[in-house]
Amino acid sequence: MSPASSPSAACSWFGFPLRVRYQETDGMKVVFHGNYITWFEVGRTEWIRALGLSYRELEARGLLLPVVDLQVTFKRPALYDDMIMVYTRLEQRSALRMTFASVVCRVGEAEADMALEQGWHAAPIGERLVEGATTLAWLNSNWRPVRIEREAKDIWTLLESVTHD
């Protein structure tokens, strides 16, 4: 991972571009509300990947991260063929849980290209469409809670360095 792609206190939002596909919309070409939750998942997956980890790695280590709480506020609809950015930031972490903030914004092509190159941002750019938060719990492969600072100290240390306080 290059220094330009590393998060900092000043740039704690990770942006990932997507184009709204036809199958994600209804008959009015408006994005079906459940797709935003999928996009939050995409944002978290890419956020973790940008840190140098992957969900596949976590699962191989016997760690699971199911969503235990979800908050969504809809402001404006995304439409078919819109270019959007899914911004993700780790808001809170404890030994047992993590809470991520997510923002979906409509952007232009140039903004999406720039955001993809930069990766980490000080704040979401574009027209805010949806905001939300997801809380995930650390579990082992037997679906029992684990304390991540004991189970995987390296991951705990990495999360400490990127938590937005």
- Catalytic positions, written as ranges: 26
The alpha carbon of 50 is separated from its chain's Cα centroid by a whole number of angstroms, namely 10
The alpha carbon of 101 is separated from its chain's Cα centroid by a whole number of angstroms, namely 7
**Residue count (the chain):** 165
| Of 41, 65, 69, the residue nearest 155 (C-alpha) | 65
H-run or E-run covering 76? none
- The stretches of 12-53 forming alpha helices (DSSP H) are 34-50
